[in-house]
Amino acid sequence: MEELIEDVKDQIKFLEFDLGGPSDNQSREGIISLVLCPISGKSMADPVMAADGYTYERSAIEGYLKKTKSDGDLFSPVTGKLMTHRRLAPNKVVQAVASQYA
């Protein structure tokens, strides 16, 4: 879990770092896209990380999980790969970014 949090932090640093490449507006758009739920496409108020390493709005991923059988295989809504569990962990990093940029 800590490794995934560090990955998110690195992504944020990368998006905020400017080597004369993207404009401030483009950097802002990149950061905003980081806080959009891949299921709903909306800004996340209660972001949680799932077993696939992706962050989702809690209500969106919980809805997805309810649609799948509790005793069957669970596949990532983003990658389609098998997820090893159904636990969700709050993503405080994305929540902090979302509160600043969304």
Q: What is the pLDDT of residues 51-91, one digit of tens each?
A: 999 999 999 999 999 988 777 789 999 999 999 999 999 99
pLDDT at 58: 98
- Residue 2 CB neighbours (<10 A): 6
Q: Which two tokens stand for residue 89?
A: 């962990």
CA distance linking residue 43 with residue 37, whole number of Å: 6
Q: Is the pTM of this model over 0.85?
A: no
Which helix (H) or strand (E) element contains residue 29?
helix 24-34
Q: What angle do CA 59, 79, 39 make, to 5 degrees?
A: 25
Average pLDDT of the chain to the nearest whole number: 80
3 SS3 class: helix
